[in-house]
């Protein structure tokens, strides 16, 4: 019989091993150093809001606010580079354009902004490795995504941006962007209304929404450094040394079992590993436009489970609540693939990845069904994943199987 102490010791060892891998790869699961560096900055008008919100300096209207947000595709562009080099399929870069947009757009959705948005892109490339056809695919992919969103009533204006050849700085390519909006205060979601008694409606990041052209794995654009190295085969490091920092210890570089063109089975369907890793980050903009226009008062708070995975909410909910997530979607196949390849425990997986549930809507119990119905009308699965309880301190409990993970 294995004692609880032995199990706890093993869990600690697994956690320390995983943290060592993160450190050796030069990344941070929770971005502790970034948060420490920015902790003294002005938090804006609403400290619990998902994006920093400022008074309307553009027009000086006290009833309006300004928001500017920057994000990008992160190291997912390296996966696109590998896939393109291996298969010759340049269209995969359009997905990277979508990643850079959605990681901005869906954060803005979480403060209630869904229309009349300005977007400026920043593309840094190593010209020796990234030719014009890749740039064209990224830029055209950006416009194509905006055209799709326009057809659902979400207007994003492409303001151009900066495309720089900086081979001395960037090994392959970095695709980022900035979004700006002016919005009425009366239509903001600031998370201040989240309260004990609320339920949490979770929107799935996987499947195929009616505004998507293919199955979406749900991975989005977080945790890709670890996913890439833990899942993909050693040969990629040998063949493409430009895809990783050359000073990394060889023991943490591409240590997985898979090739990008391998297939895995999931409930009778076959999915290519490369396509699972590169599924464009799903936007919830069409769903949220309808909810924010027609059910605004039912929405008490919004959380985008991006960096920090299922623990992201801990930064934005009030201090006197306990968040219970005991009915999350079962993790789709991509997360099973990553966990098996990496050996990460459940605690680590739920701290790093969204695990299939990527948007949280905090609402009254009586309003949950209509929110779920709207989401499902777009073929985006949704359900009540948890609830909010009163607590003397901010706390999160995530149920995985028969275990409770407490954060």
Which H or E run contains 182?
strand 173-184
Is 323 exposed, middle or buried (CB count within 10 Å of its CB: 0-12, 13-18, 19+)? buried
pTM over 0.85: yes
Strand pairing partners for 387? 199, 324
Contact 360, 303 (CB under 8 A): yes
Contact 295, 367 (CB under 8 A): yes
Contacts of 220 (CB under 8 A, 6+ apart): 99, 102, 103, 205, 281, 282, 306, 354, 358
Residue linked to tokens 């949490």: 200
Architecture category of domain 4-218+278-406 in CATH: 2-Layer Sandwich (3.30)
Domain ranges of the chain: 4-218+278-406
Contact 127, 169 (CB under 8 A): no
Give the end-to-end CA distance of the chain in Å, rounded to a whole number: 28
Contact 194, 257 (CB under 8 A): no
Burial code of 192-203, b = ≥16 C-beta within 10 A, e = fewer? eebbeebbbbbb
Q: What is the pLDDT along the chain (407 residues), one digit of tens a residue?
A: 434 344 344 444 544 555 556 666 666 555 566 556 666 677 789 999 999 999 999 999 999 999 999 999 999 999 999 999 999 999 999 999 999 999 999 999 999 999 999 999 999 999 999 999 999 999 999 999 999 999 999 999 999 999 999 999 999 999 999 999 999 999 999 999 999 999 999 999 999 999 999 999 999 999 999 999 999 999 999 999 999 999 999 999 999 999 999 999 998 899 999 999 999 999 999 999 999 999 999 999 999 999 999 999 999 999 999 999 999 999 999 999 999 999 999 999 999 999 999 999 999 999 999 999 999 999 999 999 999 999 999 999 999 999 999 99
């Amino acid at each position: 019989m294995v004692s609880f102490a032995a199990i706890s010791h093993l869990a600690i060892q697994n956690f320390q091993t995983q943290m060592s891998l993160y450190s050796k790869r030069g990344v941070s699961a929770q971005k502790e150093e970034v948060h420490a560096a920015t902790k003294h900055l002005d938090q804006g008008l609403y400290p619990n809001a998902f994006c920093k919100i400022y008074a309307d300096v553009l027009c000086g209207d006290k009833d309006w606010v300004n928001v500017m947000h920057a994000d990008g595709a992160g190291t997912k562009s390296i996966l696109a580079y590998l896939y393109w080099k291996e298969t010759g399929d340049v269209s995969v870069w359009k997905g990277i354009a979508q990643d850079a947009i959605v990681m901005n757009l869906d954060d803005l959705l979480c403060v209630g902004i869904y229309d009349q948005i300005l977007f400026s892109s920043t593309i840094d490339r190593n010209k020796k490795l990234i030719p014009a056809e890749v740039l064209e695919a990224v830029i055209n992919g950006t416009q194509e995504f905006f055209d799709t969103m326009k057809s659902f009533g979400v207007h994003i204006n492409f303001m151009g941006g900066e495309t720089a050849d900086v081979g001395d700085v960037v090994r392959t390519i970095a695709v980022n962007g900035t979004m700006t909006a002016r919005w009425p205060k009366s239509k903001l979601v600031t998370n201040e209304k989240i309260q004990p008694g609320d339920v949490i409606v979770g929107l799935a990041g996987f499947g195929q929404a009616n505004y998507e052209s293919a199955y979406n794995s749900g991975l989005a654009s977080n945790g890709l450094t670890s996913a890439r190295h833990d899942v993909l085969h050693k040969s990629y490091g040998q063949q493409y040394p430009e895809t990783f920092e050359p000073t990394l210890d060889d023991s943490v570089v591409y240590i997985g079992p898979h090739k990008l063109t391998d297939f895995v089975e999931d409930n009778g369907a076959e999915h290519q590993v490369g396509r699972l890793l590169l599924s464009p980050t799903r936007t919830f903009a069409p769903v949220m436009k309808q909810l924010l226009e027609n059910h605004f008062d039912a929405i008490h708070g919004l959380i985008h489970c991006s960096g920090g995975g299922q623990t992201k909410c801990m930064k934005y909910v009030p201090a006197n609540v306990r968040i219970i997530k005991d009915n999350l979607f079962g993790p789709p196949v991509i997360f099973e693939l990553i966990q098996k390849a990496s050996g990460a425990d459940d605690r680590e997986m739920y701290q790093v990845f969204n695990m299939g549930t990527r948007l949280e809507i905090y609402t009254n119990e009586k309003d949950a069904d209509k929110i779920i119905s709207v989401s499902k009308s777009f073929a985006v699965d949704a359900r009540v994943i948890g609830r909010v309880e009163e607590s003397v301190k901010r706390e999160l409990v995530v149920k995985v199987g028969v275990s409770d993970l407490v954060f």
